[in-house]
Chains A and B, each alone.
Chain A
C-alpha cells in the first residue's frame, strides 16, 4: 500500500510574521514548523505503516527550497521518501494554484491513499485537500478524527459540529486530517541522521503533469490580497472623565460620528 502525505512548512507563530510587499508571506525570513494538521496526517500514515511493513509513506511539499527541512523532519519521523516541488514560477500561489501544482506532482506518484491536513495555520482555508481530490477525481473525506484501513477501503470517523460521521470509502481516496487525530511521534536521532543522508526528489514546473501555466503561481491565483499586516498592539487609549451622563453620551456620539461609524 502506498500512502502520500502532503505537508506544508508554515510560520512558527512564536517567531513573528513577516510579509512581502505584495502581501504574501515572506516565508524565507520566518521561523518555521510543520503544519500541525499535516503532522497529524503524517502520524496517521505512519501508524498505518506500523501495522503493515509493506506500507510506503511518501511526503510531498510545495515551497521554497528550505521547505526541504519539513521533508527531512517527516523522514526522521519515519516517512520513506520525500518530494519537494519548488520553482520560482510557483511562488505566491493561493489555494487554487497550490492544489493544481500538488495535483500535477501527485499524477507522477503511485498512491492508494492521500492524506493532507485539514488546513494550514498560515491560511486557515481548508481548501487545498478537497481541491486536490477534485483535480484528481478522488473521493474526499474531510475532518478525520480516526482512520482505519479495511482491505481496499478506509473507514474514517469524521468530525461534525454535534457528533461524528463514520464514512467508508474505497481507495484511492483523499482524507484531510485534524490535529486532534493523534499525538504525532517524535523524530528519532537515528532517523534524523538517515533523513539527512537520504536523497530528496526535487521537481520544478516542468515535472508537473497535466497542468496549465495559467493556473500556477501568483498569476494563476484568483485570490488577490488587498492588504496584509501583523497584529498591531493596541495603545493605552484615551481616558476621559465627563462631568455628567449627558456629557458622556455626547462624547461617545461625537467620537462615533467622527469615525463615520454612525
Chain B
C-alpha cells in the first residue's frame, strides 16, 4: 500500500493549484455575489484540458485517470466551490455515461466536443416529485416513428442553461417486476436548441451561487431515435452508475471546500490578535484546528481511494466502486460542513461577513450533503451493501 502520489500526479496537482490560484480565486467572490456563471473560467479550463481529464485520447480527452480528475475538482473547489461543480457535473454526469454506455457513433459525435470543452454537459434526473425516489419520474418519452417525443420537466439541474448536451432520464413505459408494475426508465442524449426544449426558473440558491441551476422543460421535444443512451429500459441503472461516479466528483468538491476553509483559517488565526497574542496560541484554537485537519485528511483518503477504485474499473477490472463513492461523499460532505462551520467560528464576527471567504465556503459546503444523493441516501447505499 502506497500513500505517496506519483510524480505525474504531483505535477498535475501543481498545475491545478496554480490555475486555481491565478484564474479561479480572483473571481470566486464576484461570481458568488453576482450569481454569475464564470464563462471566462470555463473557456480557460477548456484550453488547459480540464474539461476532458478522464476521457480517452481517442475521443479528444486527456487520457488521465479518475484520480487526476478528482484532484482537479479538489483544487478548484479549494478556492471556488462553483467552479468545482461545473467541472464535476460536466465530467461525471454527462461525459461519463456517454463514455460508458454510448454507442460508437454517440461517443464519436459527442465526446470530442465535450472533452475539448467546446461544449458543456449536464444531467437531468431530479424532478419536483422525484429526488431521492428516482422511481417517481414523471417525464415521459414516447417513440414516434424515428423520433422520441419528450414531455415533462427536470429541476435543480447543474450547468442548466449553460450546457449544450444533456443526459435526460425519462419514463418509456411500464414493466412487470416481481409481480408488480413498475415504470420503465430510459436515458437519452438531448441537445440544446432542440425545438420543445426550454428553460424554466433559475434557482436562487444559498451557495455555489455562480453555478447555473435551472429547470429544464420538455414540451413535445422531438429527438432522433438514435439518441437513446444504452438499451431501452436500462435508464435507472445508467442513472445509478452515473451517480456513483458523480458522488466521487462531489466528494472531491466537498474535500476541496474543507481544505480551502482550513487553509484560510490557519492563516487567519496566526494574524488575528486577542489579549495581546495571536489566537493561534490559544489551546482551543489549536485543538479545533487539529480536529479539522485530521478529518480533512481522513476525507482525502476516502476520496482518493474511491477515485482509484473507479480507475481500476475503467482499466477493465470487474470491481464496483459504489460503496467507496458513497462513503467518500458522505464523509467528505459532512466534514466540509463541520470544518467550514468551525472556520466561521474561529473567524469570529469576520467569518459572518461576506468579504471573508469562509462565509461563502460554509454556504457552498451545505449542498454537498444534499445533491447527487443526500447523506441519508449514502447511508442507505453503504448499509445495504454491508448487510448483504
> Is A47 located at the chain interface by the 8 A CB criterion?
no
Known A186-B18, A186-B19: A192·B11 in contact at CB below 8 Å: yes
Q: CB within 8 Å of A: which of B34-84? A: 47-50, 53, 57, 61-64, 68, 72
B-facing mask of A184-213, CB < 8 A → 1, else 0?
011111111101100000000000000000
Contacting pair B50 A189 (CB below 8 A): yes
> Is B180 located at the chain interface by the 8 A CB criterion?
no
> Is A73 located at the chain interface by the 8 A CB criterion?
yes
- State A193–B50 Cα separation when bound (angstroms): 13
* Residues of chain B contacted by A73 (CB below 8 angstroms): 11
Q: CB within 8 Å of B: which of A168-189? A: 185-189
- State A186–B62 Cα separation when bound (angstroms): 14
Known A73-B11, A76-B11, A196-B7: A190·B57 in contact at CB below 8 Å: yes
| Chain A, interface SS category | helix
Contacting pair B18 A189 (CB below 8 A): no
- State A195–B8 Cα separation when bound (angstroms): 8
* Residues of chain A contacted by B143 (CB below 8 angstroms): none
Q: CB within 8 Å of A: which of B1-49? A: 6-8, 11-12, 15, 18-19, 47-49
Contacting pair A192 B19 (CB below 8 A): no
> Is A72 located at the chain interface by the 8 A CB criterion?
yes
Contact of A192 among B15, B18, B61 (CB under 8 A): B15
Contacting pair B48 A192 (CB below 8 A): no
Contacting pair A189 B53 (CB below 8 A): yes
Contact of B61 among A72, A76, A187, A190 (CB under 8 A): A190
* Residues of chain A contacted by B11 (CB below 8 angstroms): 69, 72-73, 76, 187, 192, 195-196
A-facing mask of B283-305, CB < 8 A → 1, else 0?
00000000000000000000000
Known A73-B11, A196-B7: A189·B72 in contact at CB below 8 Å: yes
Contact of A190 among B6, B19, B62, B72 (CB under 8 A): B62
Contacting pair B19 A189 (CB below 8 A): no
Contacting pair A190 B63 (CB below 8 A): yes
* Residues of chain B contacted by A196 (CB below 8 angstroms): 6-8, 11
Q: CB within 8 Å of B: which of A215-247? A: none
Contacting pair A193 B64 (CB below 8 A): yes
Contacting pair B62 A188 (CB below 8 A): yes
* Residues of chain A contacted by B68 (CB below 8 angstroms): 189, 193
Chain B residue at smallest Cβ distance from A188: B49
- State A72–B6 Cα separation when bound (angstroms): 14
Contacting pair B7 A189 (CB below 8 A): no
- State A196–B63 Cα separation when bound (angstroms): 13
Contacting pair B49 A191 (CB below 8 A): yes
A-facing mask of B342-374, CB < 8 A → 1, else 0?
000000000000000000000000000000000
Known A196-B7, A196-B8: A189·B15 in contact at CB below 8 Å: yes
* Residues of chain B contacted by A72 (CB below 8 angstroms): 7, 11
Chain B residue at smallest Cβ distance from A194: B63
- State A190–B47 Cα separation when bound (angstroms): 12
Contacting pair A192 B57 (CB below 8 A): no
Separation in Å of the A194 CB from the closest CB of chain B?
8
Known A72-B11, A196-B7, A196-B8: A190·B18 in contact at CB below 8 Å: no
Chain B residue at smallest Cβ distance from A196: B8
* Residues of chain A contacted by B64 (CB below 8 angstroms): 189-190, 192-193
* Residues of chain A contacted by B50 (CB below 8 angstroms): 189
Separation in Å of the B24 CB from the closest CB of chain A?
12
- State A76–B47 Cα separation when bound (angstroms): 14
Contacting pair A192 B8 (CB below 8 A): yes
Contacting pair B15 A186 (CB below 8 A): yes
Contact of B62 among A69, A193, A195 (CB under 8 A): A193
Separation in Å of the B84 CB from the closest CB of chain A?
16
Separation in Å of the A36 CB from the closest CB of chain B?
13
Q: List residues of chain A with CB under 8 Å of any chain B CB.
A: 69, 72-73, 76, 185-193, 195-196
Q: List residues of chain B with CB under 8 Å of any chain A CB.
A: 6-8, 11-12, 15, 18-19, 47-50, 53, 57, 61-64, 68, 72
- 19 A-B pairs within 8 Å (CB atoms) are namely A69-B11, A73-B11, A185-B47, A186-B18, A186-B19, A187-B15, A188-B48, A188-B62, A189-B12, A189-B49, A190-B49, A190-B63, A192-B15, A192-B64, A193-B62, A195-B8, A196-B6, A196-B7, A196-B11
| Pairs A-B, 7 closest by C-beta atoms | A190-B62, A188-B49, A196-B8, A186-B48, A189-B62, A189-B64, A192-B11
